[in-house]
Chain A
């Protein structure tokens, strides 16, 4: 990045709240229904209809506010944001302007080992618009109002980020948080989690901000990074070639990897916000806040810290295991099911399990191997019934069948042979059959030792305990 310039970034994240019904009507919010089948008279903005606030959306917003240590309430107001667009049925969007439900808070991020606190200016509730469909209508536009009225939490950051990496780290952190809180499914492809980025550059050391451009509707972490980096380069180029950055709204085109102008400041709407007379101010009482607080789950940072101290994990491992609430819960349930094998559980989850899930394209919540059965496997590793190698075979069997580890071990006769008498007998026979190799070993060719280990394992079909084999072989080969 250009050393003479400093980047300033602020993000506005739109998180669709995971309520069952819409923010101001009883219609369902489920994604993917046939166009206009999930839009009731309120969503259609028919004459005479009135909005009624969904209490669950308020609860979710308060949850988020508490999680980012924000000021909440006590008094919050819905406002009408006026503009005409065919997918905005009422000609205004019900949003919040002067008194948002969530006030100033913060989110901590870490980039390349450097921790940083990003300010959250506010988070407010609003209704989503419908969708305009420009394909398939031959010069006309189709309107699908299924999404109209879906609750959104718009999370506005301070202009605290100084690089695309920081912006991505912040966005990931908020993404992780809303999923931990179970207030948003975080599905970026379906648009449940998307953001607008305000980007500007200024000469390093200058206190005032440069003129910013707003990049609209970015719906992946990768695109956020690319769009911001493109925009930084573009702005620096404009200024260095004697031009001026204009305040405008831009769109990121992922196909061409560039941003381009949508509309300038002079075309900007005057939204004529005013309090919505159809809705009473929302009063958040202390008791309600306490009730929500009591139901807050352990948050990602706290969980990660606890994994480090309690399970002795390094930073990276703890981060991997706490990346989602479901994975962390799985891990902790596995530790319990395995009889407290925290280290072993950690190795298996971060290794074989996540590997297999990744390969199959599955989320932890859809893992074919639940923690109970994996716990059964870990128990058998811990008590030496299984060698590591055999354990992998059992894991594969667990993945394929609904049986328990013990059932599989029993059925396939996979028990590790730890009986030294039995192993000794096998070793004796191998020594007797391979006099040449014994001679080589005894004359100092240590490498031949591996040959003997291999022979024993072959004879026991891998079921002999490697520790036991090593010990006995060494003793016997000495002669």
Chain B
């Protein structure tokens, strides 16, 4: 049963083929068996079984929805009441969240079961899951390789069939890149589509939660529950949530696909380029039209991102000061000692690097040259996307310049690590929705295709992906040893 999609599981639960408790037990067993992956930081087995029982009762009372009784895993960035919410950091290793994130509330209301909290790069800063305080996560397709990051634990867990689906967050590619590297479907919604309340902030103007699933249809089911205006998040958008499932069957006839020239340049691995060409051919066979577009400012996305995101994170992470919650150093001599040692001892290297970069970029005398300049670049990139999306319906391209790289391969070179997000970062700067779907393999490792859409066009992205998944089976492949 672990190989089923949410849609299939929901149908089995409905017909009584198995109960949610049985399904939950099966997944908990798989989690136990595959501990070596290190994809979870916390397993909430007892609570999961209680939730499963409640879901079975809900079903018996005739109140079940599509997610009722479906076991999922949440990225350990979403505050979960009564459960450790670590954000992958030593800083929050002792933090039991006293409240639920809005996303968690929504899953609870839908009757979903939470199996546990997934591993992630510390405070979502990383592209390989190697900055986690809880150690690296293995890629189920190649255990010596990284799963990508920062939502690496969620991606690995979905790929290894340790849960039906998972949540992730994406600030510069943190849903799409691990989805691509692990061969699953990952959607970063439009900024403001999913509430950020209770999602521990990395870079507030870029962070967005989204689903990580086995299929586009599952992503639609998950997004249906996750999306919506939240009066606790001023940046969430007051716009009705469409029926994503109903939109899935929209045919691809006449869909205009734009291929940004800048996405297919020299940096891209030629095997990946080939896999993507084949996927795009498939879309054309389904009735889509393809044209080339140009977005000249995309090349500045990485430098702009690495000013804006660190600037925001330098302030966002100030609350971790050892005063009210989280790690506190032992026997502080005075206030300054309390601050410097608590933060110095509990933050990892990458987090410190970004706090330092951000603090520097916001400092008197540097603000204009860095922060303001980066904001201008951000506007230009957004304009590029808007212009391109007046010509075409969606943009397609790679998610990552390479397939899953080896553990430790890039940890010594932050710039190389930053470049792994070259195709995803611009989308966050523009606030657009984008997803990654499996589109082939290179040397036995999955390749992801990125589809970028206009603001709030998640329905269009999901239906495009769904139509593609109706005629391909890349998304149905299971890594060896996990079937």
Whole-angstrom distance between the alpha carbons of A274 and B367 in the complex?
9
Among all A-B residue pairs, the 6 with the closest Cβ atoms:
A91-B318, A277-B205, A272-B362, A277-B204, A48-B198, A45-B319
Given that A47-B200, A270-B364 are contacting pairs, would A278 and B97 also be in contact in the complex, using a CB cutoff of 8 Å? no
Q: Which of A86, A91, A279 contacts B335 (CB 8 A)?
A: A86
Cα-based distance from A47 to B91 in the complex (angstroms)? 11
CA distance A90 to B320 in the complex (A): 8
B contact set with A: CB distance below 8 Å: 78-79, 85, 87, 92, 95, 97-99, 101, 196-201, 203-205, 231-235, 311-312, 314-315, 317-321, 323-326, 335, 339, 359, 362-364, 367, 371
- Of the listed stretches A15-23, A49-57, A321-329, chain B binds A49-57
Q: From B362, which residue of chain A is reached at the shortest CB distance? A: A272
Cβ of B312 and Cβ of A89 under 8 Å apart? no
For the complex, what is the distance from the CA of A189 to the CA of B101, rounded to whole Å? Answer: 39
CB distance from A285 to the nearest CB of B (A): 17
* Contact call A47/B362, Cβ cutoff below 8 A: no
A278: chain B residues at CB < 8 Å are: 201, 204, 234-235
Task: Judge whether B231 and A82 touch: CB under 8 Å.
Answer: no
The answer to whether A92 and B364 touch across the interface, beta carbons within 8 angstroms, is no
Contact with B along A72-92 (1 / 0, CB 8 A): 000000001010101001111
For residue B359, which residue of chain A has the nearest CB? A272
CB distance from B140 to the nearest CB of A (A): 29
Of A48, A86, A91, most buried by chain B (CB within 10 Å of CB) is A48
Q: Given the complex, which residues of B lie within 8 Å of A102, measured CB to CB?
A: none
Output the least CB separation between A451 and chain B (Å). Answer: 82
Additional A-B contact list (6), CB under 8 Å, known A82-B315, A274-B362: A48-B199, A50-B234, A50-B235, A92-B318, A270-B363, A272-B359
* Chain A interface residue bracket vs B: 20 to 34
Whether B362 pairs with A89 at a CB distance below 8 angstroms is no
Task: Chain B residues near A254: list those with CB within 8 A.
Answer: none
Whether the pair A49, B234 counts as a contact (CB closer than 8 A) is no
Residues of B within 8 A of A141 (CB): 335
26 residue pairs from A and B, CB less than 8 Å apart = A45-B324, A46-B98, A46-B99, A47-B85, A47-B95, A47-B201, A47-B325, A48-B85, A48-B197, A50-B197, A50-B234, A51-B234, A82-B314, A82-B318, A84-B318, A84-B339, A89-B324, A90-B315, A90-B319, A91-B318, A274-B311, A274-B315, A274-B362, A274-B371, A277-B204, A277-B205
A41 touches B99 (CB 8 A): yes
Is B79 in contact with A91, judged by CB distance below 8 angstroms? no
The one of B203, B315, B323, B371 in contact with A86, judged by C-beta atoms closer than 8 angstroms, is B323
Q: Which of A191-233 contact B (CB under 8 A)?
A: none
> Does A378 lie at the interface of the complex (its beta carbon under 8 Å from any beta carbon of B)?
no
B324 touches A49 (CB 8 A): no
Give CA–CA (A29, B235) in the complex, Å.
25
Q: Which residues of B contact A423 (CB under 8 A)?
A: none
Which residues of A sit under 8 angstroms from B364, Cβ to Cβ? 270, 272
- A251 contacts the other chain (CB 8 A): no
On chain B, the residues within 8 Å of A277 by CB distance are 203-205, 235, 312
Chain B residue with the shortest CB-CB distance to A25: B232
Say whether A125 faces chain B, with CB atoms less than 8 Å apart.
Answer: no
Shortest CB-to-CB span from B49 to chain A, Å, is 26
- Inter-chain CA distance A264–B205, complex, in Å, is 35
A280 touches B197 (CB 8 A): no
Closest to A274 in B: B362
> CB of A299 within 8 A of chain B?
no
- A44 close to chain B: CB less than 8 A: yes
Which A residue's beta carbon lies closest to that of B205?
A277
Chain B residues near A89: list those with CB within 8 A: 319, 323-324
As a 0/1 sequence over residues 87 to 106 of chain A, the CB contacts with chain B under 8 angstroms (1 = contact) are 00111100000000000000
Min C-beta distance of A52 to chain B, whole Å: 5
How far, in angstroms, from A48 to B235 measured CA to CA in the complex? 14
Does A143 sit within 8 A of B, measured CB to CB? yes
**A47 contacts across to B, CB distance below 8 A:** 79, 85, 87, 92, 95, 97, 200-201, 319-320, 325-326
CB pair A91 B315 closer than 8 Å: yes
Contacts A48-B101, A278-B235 hold; do A80 and B79 have CB atoms under 8 A apart?
Answer: no
With most chain A CB atoms within 10 A of its CB, the pick from B95, B200, B205, B324 is B324
